[in-house]
Structure 1
Amino acid sequence: MNRVWRSLLVLLLSFGWLAAVPTAAHADDSDDRVTDYKVVATFDASGTAAVQLDLSVDFGDTEGHGPYLVFPLRQEIAGDLDHWRMIDVQVGQVTSPSGADATLESEESDGNLVIRVGSEGRTFTGIQTYQVNYTVKGLIAARQATSGVDEVNWNALGDGWKIPVDRAEVTVVGPVDVTRTGCFSGSLYDTPCQSAHNGTAATFSAENLGDGSGMQVVAGFPAGTFTDVAPRYTKRYTVQNMFPANPYTISVTALLSVLGLGLLIKRTRRRDEVFVGLTPGVVPAPGQQATVGAADGDAPVAVAFTPPKEVRPGEAGTLLDNVADDRDVTATIVDLAVRNQIQITQTAPEEWTFIRRFNAEDQLADYEEELLERLFAGSNRVTTEDLRNESYAGMLTEVRGNLYRRVVDLQWYQANPSHVRAAAIGGGIALIVVGAGLGFLAGFLGWGLIGLAGVIVGVGVLARSNHFGRRTATGSAVLAQTKGFELYLTTAEADQIKFEEGIDVFSRYLPYAIVFGVAERWTKIFQELADQGRYTFNPYWYAGYGFAPRLDQLGSSLNSLGSTMSSSLQAATAATSGGSGFSGGGGFGGGGGGTW
């Protein structure tokens, strides 16, 4: 388990060594260079090398703190994506013969040991010399099949140097005589460089290195020279081995996904209560006993020629899909206009004016009173442009919230559907996060793919978050009535319209048509009736722009009214959330950096 957490930490620190490397604007923007890079590495029979590195760093006229060195602690293995070959490095004494600051700081990050020489408060110019002593183990390739010898195979100067290195000299000293040598330089280590050997020592040299060009030295010793030099490997975690797609992981992931989605569908499939034994849409009479049970599938819908009794359009829209949306708010405003509480006047293609009227004979619900008070808080005359003012910030959210509370107060829901949906969304996000996290941890065991099941189910919960609300038996009965009336408005033709004495059926039912999304269809039917002389529209609640008394253009105008109101009210909310740049406190974008 400790290895798992160590590996997890390594993955979380990916690319972290880049942050540890000093990058203040000095080295990359100056002419700093290493004039001499001299290494003497003495190997004992166990393959451990005691290394002395002498650096001459020329800072020129630009002040610099000191050098930094990056030592790799692990290495990729050709053809093996599942393991790292490890290199053990221990840094010892660091000095500066020239008197520069030799304070040492080191940090391990992303498979590298990064050391920084120098201090923040001290800088130097010109040529400064440094001596770094360290030990390294893991550079021996024992008894190679192609060469037949034990090899010291070492990138003595790595290709990650960011400044030029004029000349590098490397000496390798072994416990017995060297039998052969090799030297290569360049970014791909494919350019031969000078090498020689004499007795137990091998020497190597190259020029014009650094800036991505390194130096590889190879010294051969008789097979068996080095003991206890078997490579040390650790697990290498990659996408391929953490999230392998094989018959086992795919089967388990598919099984978990199917089980999770099955439970989700079961949990969200028509969980509403109903009155058992009663026709859908029928509510028990006062004092009548009725058994309440769970709904078993969708109830049949019978056409209803009138809306549910005492059910307002916005309430019906919220009950229909568990959501109080912009369409329900628009329908509520139009309904208030039809009931002579508001006069709506369209003054331009996308501009409207609302004038407050007072119909004492009309009884308002609490949420309707609050909507009117909020809409006409400052004046009895309001335009859609006025709604962009900050004083209307949050109005849309408040109206929706009042509609949710209304359907709960009417005992149509067991709990506020907006709260239930928010909890479902939170649960879906949690499932995605937990699934991803568990998948990541399981990846250390090669089973990371199973975390995808949690992600899939979490996405499913988000997609069905609107289906977690549970209607009461009364709510289900009203829903059946609402769907019956919706069926009527969406299918009735002009010759099937049933008029009611003393009621302007067109205006009375128009807000419901808005809720059901068939306002344009409804207005076209009545335009057809008007053309036949069977209906006369008395626009007492709406003064139209452009369509005059023609109804077939009113539907699209009302749709525009809803979107314009929503846009204006959202703009009012946005106006309260920003600040001026002249007040300070930060702006957009930014960043910074530099070198050591």
Structure 2
Amino acid sequence: MWAVLAAVLGGPVALAAPSATPSAGAGAAASVESHTTAPQATAPIGDPTAPPMAAWGPATAVLPAEEQADRLSTDFQVQSDGSVIVTESIRWRFPDGEERHGILRNVKVRAGYRDSETQYRYYELTGVTVTSPSGAPTDIAISDVGAYRQIRVGSPSLTVSGTADYVVRFRLGRIVNDIGDGTAEFYYNVVDTSNGFPQRSVSARVTGPAAATRAACFHGPLGSTTPCEATPGATSTFAVPDLEAEEGASVLTSYPRDAFGDLTPDLREGDVDASSGALVSPDAARALGWLAIGLGILLPLLAGSLMGLLVWTRGRDEQYAGLTPGLTPGVGQVVPVVVGGPDPTVAVQFTPPAGVQPGMLGTILDEQVNLVDVTATLVDLAVRGHLQIARDDQGFLRPDDWVLTRTAPPATTGALAPYEQVLLDSVFATGERVALSQLKNHFKPTLDAVERLMYEEVVQRGWFRRSPERQRAGWVGLGSVLLAAGVLVVFLGWGPLSGLFADAGFPLSPFWVLIGGVVVTGLLVRALGRRMAARTAPGSAVLAQARGFERYIATAEANQIRWEEAQDVFSRFLPYAIVFGLADRWATVFEEVAAAAAAAGHVVASPTWYVGNWSAGGFSHVASSMDSFSTVAAGTFVSTPGSSGSSGFSGGGGFSGGGGGGSSGGSW
């Protein structure tokens, strides 16, 4: 009946358990709670006054018999402050032919105290960690199930089958009992009788702050007093026979009282079977809940409003008012500057912006220094006479390798920009002739330096007031800190912080509303912060010229190009076409130029900066080769050493078999 009721309600059913006190002779399944009074008798097996078995914890649906714990080994480290660190080593066998997500562990954190209807004893659960020696997913989600905390282990998106090993570790506070006769007892249910699965190879070890003077172990159904093997000592050991479903086991160790400090139990006001352990009064919990909900809603609204205002006032490009896009004021001319406005209509421009190299043009286009901007810069340096690029056709190196040879530029060549000089000098740092593959795993620091200098260059030219990369990084970093704070609070503060809202009466814990608000705030700051980089009015003018030149590369026709200028025009504009992603289209135009020239008996000269089989494909061959070169160079530049290329819940509830706390579980 209890399993059916649990299935109808969509989860485990928990009913209140009576309170009593254990002693060394108490049974494994006696539902009792230790305190400082003298031990009382436990309910014997079959006692008609004892509550139904399901009343001792969350009800368990019947699962296939082949699901079980093949091994359960539990280590207890009893602390002098009365807490215990529990380490459960579990080998879980999942149902044959079925895929599950992981396991469940139900840990009792609330228990009745001296038959009180207004107070309960609380065992604070902290420090939950899970590992899997077999490599199973170990994501953790902790929720309240009546008087228990349910630890759900596994990933909703990943499944496991067969058997899997888990190591579950947690701490329970104030669980040791002051018996009042000069001794203190640790009494714990290793397996409780509400557990719905067989448990094989069950063992336990208890280590205390002093050697145990006595040890006892009990196993069997609810109320059983059947003993199992127990050996007291500095580390007390317990061996439990194999347990069937609805059989449990409890262990007990006794110590001198002076081995411990204060053993006052953690008593709290409320119902023992409420959904969680409240840390504050219901009124305070509700007030804190409303505060958390308010912050969770207000933070994203404030972040969205403030970031939107900043993007509107400082994250939009400036433009010269009243001037044709692409033009700048003349000497002495004063032109007002406006922020934002519609995207300007640009006219075709037959040359790139004066003095703007391909790498700079790529940066002004998208406000970022991309790898293609760097590789296009290297091709541009070759076109300008600083090096030759050749495919390694000799078979010395890899088939896709390239050989770069430094050359003396023409005397009329202007000085290089700082980023160009660093790039050129770094490529040929080991000699005047270098294979691209020789730069692998060594060039990344140079690439970072070149990118940094390119950002500094666009600021020095007045196109941006600050480095767009630094602006984005600052806002993205702030958003990332907020996201990390939300995640950190979830992992480290879920247990204690969620307990603040235990009796608040909200259908959803305000804790999650607050965390959700922090996460959304971080995402908003990150997303809108990426738009904070803005061009100045001169930068917008250069952008309009670049867009006009891009239109020319995309629409140029062969009949617009003179035969005798074909090779020079093709080479000078090829690096820009690479940045625009139009190199193939640019080569196609010049193939038509070369064909028309050949028909008229004119031969178009091959580029001097590229060493390759010109007759095999002409301009298309050069363009495709440079595309391949850019791809290989990009991979080489970024390389570093060492790099290379629903099922429902099924499981049992918890049970106090005489000791404080207790564990059980299943799979999901």
Partner secondary structure for residue 548 of structure 1: helix
Q: Is the 8 A contact 1:283 1:477 kept in 2?
A: yes
Q: CA deviation at 1:328?
A: 0.6
Distance in 1, matches of 2:216 and 2:378, equals 86
Change (3 A) 1:279 1:323: same
Distance 1:158 1:551, change over 3 A: same
Structure-2 residue corresponding to 1:74: 109
Query: Does residue 530 in structure 1 map to residue 594 in structure 2?
Result: yes
Distance in 1 separating the partners of 2:564 and 2:294:
63
Given candidates 417, 432, 441, the residue that maps to 1:365 is: 417
Q: Which amino acid aligns with 1:397?
A: D
Give the alignment partner of residue 551 of structure 1, picking from 598, 619, 627: 619
The match for 2:97 is: none
Query: Of residues 326, 329, 332 in structure 2, which corresponds to 1:281?
Result: 326
Amino acid at match of 2:467: N
Q: How does 1:254-403 map to 2 (within 5 A)?
A: 257=300, 260-261=303-304, 263-265=306-308, 267-268=310-311, 271-348=316-393, 349-359=399-409, 360-363=411-414, 364-388=416-440, 390=442, 392=443, 394-403=445-454
Deviation at 1:361, TM superposition (A): 0.9
- Structure 2 residue corresponding to 1:409, chosen from 440, 450, 460: 460
Contact 2:352/2:546, CA 8 A, preserved across alignment: yes
Please give the alpha-carbon distance, in whole angstroms, between the structure 2 residues aligned to 1:301 and 1:134.
86
Match of 2:523 in 1: 459
- Seen in structure 2, the aligned counterparts of structure 1 residues 233 and 294 have a Cα distance that, compared at 3 Å, is same
Instruction: Tell me which structure has the larger Cα radius of gyration.
Output: 1
Greater relative contact order structure (CA < 8 Å, 6+ sep): 2
The residue identity in structure 1 corresponding to 2:401 is: E
* SS of match in other structure, 2:37: strand
Moved more, 507-516 or 560-569: 560-569
Of 276, 293, 302, which residue of structure 2 is paired with 1:236?
A: 276
Task: Work out whether residues 110 and 273 of structure 2, in 8 Å CA contact, stay in contact via their aligned partners in 1.
Answer: no
State the alpha-carbon separation in 2 of the partners of residues 561 and 473 from structure 1: 35
Task: Tell me the equivalent position of 1:566.
Answer: 634
Pick from 104, 129, 134 the counterpart of residue 184 of structure 2.
Answer: 134
Residue in 2 aligned with 1:470? Answer: 534
Note if contact 1:489-1:522 (Cα within 8 Å) is conserved in structure 2. yes
Distance 1:253 1:88 in 2: 29
Match of 1:110 in 2: 171
| Residue 577 of structure 2 corresponds to residue 516 of structure 1 | no
Q: What is the alpha-carbon distance in structure 2 between the residues aligned to residue 231 and residue 389 of structure 1? A: 64
Letter in 1 for 2:109: R
- The amino acid of 2:481's aligned partner reads A
CA distance in 2, matches of 1:575, 1:40: 60
| CA distance in 1 between partners of 2:566 and 2:613 (Å) | 27
User: Quick check: which one's strand share is greater?
Assistant: 1
Kept in 2, the 8 Å contact 1:347–1:545? The answer is no
Name the CA distance, whole Å, in 2 between partners of 1:560 and 1:51. Answer: 84
1:517 CA drift (Å): 1.4
1:256-275 Cα shifts (integer Å, max 9, x gaps) = 64664465455446512222
Aligned equivalents of 2:298, 2:594: Cα separation in 1: 61
TM superposition shift of 1:545: 5.6
**Cα separation, partners in 2 of 1:419 and 1:205, compared to 1, 3 Å:** same
| Structure 1: distance between partners of 2:269 and 2:435 | 85
SS of match in other structure, 2:38: strand
1:102 is matched with none
1:505 Cα deviation (Å)? 1.5
Specify every segment of 5 or more residues in structure 2 that has no aligned partner in the other structure, as ranges: 1-22, 41-74, 87-106, 113-117, 125-168, 193-201, 207-213, 230-238, 252-267, 279-284, 394-398, 502-508, 644-668
CA distance in 1, matches of 2:108, 2:534: 59
Deviation of the 1:234 alpha carbon: 7.7
- Relative to structure 1, the CA distance from residue 74 to residue 86 in structure 2 (aligned partners, 3 Å threshold; closer, same or farther) is farther
Cα 1:164/1:507, change in 2 over 3 Å: closer
Q: TM-score when scaled to structure 1? A: 0.59
After superposition, the Cα gap between the structure-2 partners of 1:134 and 1:319, relative to the gap in structure 1 and judged at 3 Å, is same
- Which amino acid is the alignment partner of residue 236 of structure 1? S
| Counterpart Cα distance in 1 of 2:78 and 2:294 | 50
Aligned-partner Cα distance in 2 for 1:508–1:335: 7
Contact 1:318 1:324 in 2 (8 A): yes
Aligned residue-pair number = 428
Query: Which residue does the alignment assign to 1:430?
Result: 481
**Amino acid of the residue matched to residue 608 of structure 2?**
Y
Closer, same or farther: CA 288–110 of 1 in aligned 2, 3 Å: same
Partner Cα separation in structure 1 for residue 529 and residue 170 of structure 2: 42
- Unaligned regions of 5+ residues in structure 1, if any? 1-35, 53-64, 78-82, 90-107, 117-130, 137-154, 171-183, 194-203, 218-227, 577-596
Does the Cα contact within 8 Å between 2:321 and 2:338 map onto a contact in 1? yes
Deviations 1:110-149 (Å, cap 9, x if unpaired)? Answer: 3355779xxxxxxxxxxxxxx993379xxxxxxxxxxxxx
Q: Secondary structure at the match of 1:49?
A: coil
Task: State the alpha-carbon separation in 2 of the partners of residues 548 and 284 from structure 1.
Answer: 49
Q: CA deviation at 1:543?
A: 1.6
RMSD over aligned CA atoms reads: 5.0
Residue 307 of structure 1, CA deviation: 0.7
Partners of 1:68 and 1:451 in 2: CA distance: 34
Secondary structure in structure 1 of the residue aligned to 2:337 = strand
Residue aligning to 2:610: 542
Q: State the AA in 1 paired with 2:276.
A: R
Structure 1 residue 309: deviation in Å? 0.9
Give the Cα separation in 2 of the matches to 1:76 and 1:462: 46
- Is it true that 1:214 corresponds to 2:202 in the alignment? no
Instruction: Give the one of 38, 52, 57 matched to 1:50.
Output: 38
**In the aligned structure 2, how far is the partner of 1:156 from the partner of 1:549?**
82
Post-superposition offset of 1:109? 6.0
Q: Which residue of the other structure, out of 552, 576, 581, is the alignment partner of 1:488? A: 552
Give 1:314's aligned amino acid: G
Deviation at 1:336, TM superposition (A): 1.1
- Aligned equivalents of 1:113 and 1:252: distance in 2? 34
Structure 1 CA distance, aligned partners of 2:170 and 2:119? 15
How far 1:386 sits from its partner (Å)? 2.0
User: How far apart, in 1, do the equivalents of 2:77 and 2:381 lie?
Assistant: 77
**Alpha-carbon separation, structure 2, partners of 1:216 and 1:342:** 81
Distance 1:67 1:288 in 2: 82
Letter in 2 for 1:574: P
Equivalent residues of 2:111, 2:121 under 8 A apart:
no
SS in 1 for 2:333: coil
User: Relative to 1, partners in 2 of residues 1:282 and 1:214: Cα closer, same or farther, differing over 3 Å?
Assistant: same
Do 1:84 and 1:233's aligned partners in 2 also have CA atoms closer than 8 Å?
no
Given residue 445 of structure 2, which amino acid in structure 1 is its aligned partner? G
Deviation at 1:453, TM superposition (A): 3.4
Given that residues 123 and 172 in structure 2 are in contact (C-alpha distance below 8 angstroms), is that contact kept between their aligned partners in structure 1? no
Distance in 2 between residues matched to 1:303 and 1:66, nearest whole Å: 78
When residues 529 and 464 of structure 1 are mapped into structure 2, their CA distance, relative to the original with a 3 A threshold, is farther
* Alpha-carbon distance between aligned partners in 2 of 1:499 and 1:531, rounded to the nearest angstrom: 10
Counterpart Cα distance in 1 of 2:401 and 2:359: 23
